[in-house]
Structure 1
């Protein structure tokens, strides 16, 4: 049987993205706008995007950075803190531009020091979100120093997510960038649906967690550009994520968690967590899906399931990939310096042909 040479799908969306701010926006917005129609934009700036007014101002900066002729649409989020007022949720929903609220356990990842220290403090906010139909996006890791870094996601589910799901049964939740078999199983086991019959719990999956196990961080030495949070896990977990992403289950959809850091901040004694995948995101996902012979299911994962979960219309444009080898650049210009993309120097089997 001959190999598929061109793959055309509905224009996809990225349901978990870091665009940064300031000078970086010129680069990050262009990378994402080349492939995606919309993206859920993370709010962990310094200071964090914690109010609707801040989200709307950040949105304007993103729109101003779009390449000429681009119709890319940023979907904004709020950063949940211990002091977020429940009334802010109603303002966010009324804005029409804020589509979710992000829970970072304090200290869990980049710029999360303003995150939640005790879930009980934000229960009134969860109740307001449940009433407003506002999704909660969760970085699902505990920060207890006694918990092994490779177990933090599974422990978060056991200690916290089960309780949130029990206490707020109608709250829409996305467990972000899942990395473990336990997380994939937890999402599958949840039967709760909304009035439309749509799932109330979903998960995003990154390309790097589909393609690499934790061995990639230590291949011949320490490889800082493969370091992300949640950290890459064992091969059995990677296989479980491939099962989830390629299985046609609408509760799993694309979220790159593309998170650029300047080379100097990655190649350091205490390097930052985050992988840059936005410039070649669909090429990476196509490679992962092809490993399972599931290219026919990439469109739903990348272009349909996320829009359906967020109650947004599916895109009408298309994106085409062609089977032409593409070399990932060793580095890219970024905010006056440079940044190393994930898989730098590697040859990918697919490349972007066109997007309309």
Structure 2
């Protein structure tokens, strides 16, 4: 039985860092253990201009305070012309498409995801090799929103075969099955969706710190995600979707959607992969697949975990903010060395 594990250049390919005081609190918690992270652009206002992009990148670097950490920047999807995309291409890793109003700070997202309406931008992205990252949910019944989005993914994959499409934070077996149907479809998977179902969120007393969008689904969906992650499928990669909200906005009427896992993700994943006898595959899920999919060269970093109990803090606080992590107050079987 393994007593230690060293991961090379761990990557988080879907991360929310927010801004201002919250950014200053949470950015170091990711930068400490990850070599790089793909940062979401859904600020208020969203990141849509070159100036806003570079300014946000600098604020992240200032807050992170680790030289061996690279924030991979994204733009919030809108209709961009090719000349603009050529200008920003070397400064971004992708463009994030949000259906309007579907999640936190997505009110100015796309109201209708129609291939022909979006064609000018998507064709320019295809020509320039800029991936499209998608929050894949409709506005339907909450448990069916991702499943209902599958035909949209298929339409995008068929109409833009050169466009690399990342199905973000997939939660269903339907999404897993779609991976192998189209060469240009890829996916990120979170920590929480590998571990919990809707029962954990709302089956007993409501657990606000497990509530996120997409919401956790059924047992068969979780099992499909676990299988594809544990077997290091080359088209899936880790993306925490770690989404910090102040404690008072989570433990409140109108609970904000988002699970905060950034400082404990590696410890949880080590325990999960060990339990299933798949520790050797964690390196691919946490880094190697992302390197191949995005073609990036992040700073070199080695993170060692040891088989020692780790008590998850009740909260992480500073800069006038307080965030409660997933599994607060519980003990994990792996710790950071």
Deviation at 1:326, TM superposition (A): 0.5
Contact 2:22 2:321 in 1 (8 A): no
Q: 2:302 aligns with which of 318, 326, 329?
A: 318
Contact 1:32 1:279 in 2 (8 A): yes
Deviation at 1:88, TM superposition (A): 2.7
Q: Distance in 1 between matches of 2:18 and 2:135?
A: 18
Contact 1:52 1:98 in 2 (8 A): no
2:37 aligns to what? 39
Deviation at 1:211, TM superposition (A): 1.1
SS in 2 for 1:256: coil
User: Which deviations, in whole Å up to 9, do the C-alpha atoms of 1:1-60 show, x marking residues without a partner?
Assistant: xx2100112120110000001111221110001110111000000000012221111001
1:119 aligns to what? 113
Contact 1:184 1:240 in 2 (8 A): yes
Q: 1:301 aligns with which of 285, 291, 308?
A: 285
Q: Distance in 1 between matches of 2:32 and 2:15?
A: 14
1:276 aligns to what? 260
1:344 aligns to what? 328
Alignment partner of 1:70 is 2:62: no
Contact 1:303 1:314 in 2 (8 A): no
2:147 aligns to what? 154
Alignment partner of 1:11 is 2:9: yes
Deviation at 1:280, TM superposition (A): 0.9
- Residues 164-175 of structure 1 correspond to what in structure 2 (within 5 A)? 164-175=156-167
1:132 aligns to what? 128
Deviation at 1:335, TM superposition (A): 4.1
Alignment partner of 1:90 is 2:67: no
Q: Distance in 2 between matches of 1:86 and 1:214?
A: 42
SS in 1 for 2:143: helix
Q: 2:204 aligns with which of 220, 232, 235?
A: 220
Q: Distance in 1 between matches of 2:93 and 2:210?
A: 30
User: Which deviations, in whole Å up to 9, do the C-alpha atoms of 1:160-212 show, x marking residues without a partner?
Assistant: 1111111101101110000000001101222x2xxxxxxx3210000110011
Q: Distance in 2 between matches of 1:241 and 1:57?
A: 36
Deviation at 1:219, TM superposition (A): 5.1
Contact 1:84 1:122 in 2 (8 A): no
TM-score between both structures, scaled by the size of structure 1: 0.91
Contact 2:21 2:321 in 1 (8 A): no
RMSD, matched Cα: 1.4
Structure-2 change in CA distance of 1:56 and 1:263 (3 Å): same
User: Which deviations, in whole Å up to 9, do the C-alpha atoms of 1:265-312 show, x marking residues without a partner?
Assistant: 111110110000001110111122123211110001111110111111
SS in 1 for 2:5: strand
User: Which deviations, in whole Å up to 9, do the C-alpha atoms of 1:82-103 show, x marking residues without a partner?
Assistant: x44443322221xx22110000
Q: Distance in 2 between matches of 1:189 and 1:169?
A: 12
Query: Runs of 5+ in structure 2 lacking a partner?
Result: none
Alignment partner of 1:20 is 2:18: yes
Contact 2:36 2:298 in 1 (8 A): no
2:176 aligns to what? 184
Q: Distance in 2 between matches of 1:73 and 1:313?
A: 10
TM-score between both structures, scaled by the size of structure 2: 0.96
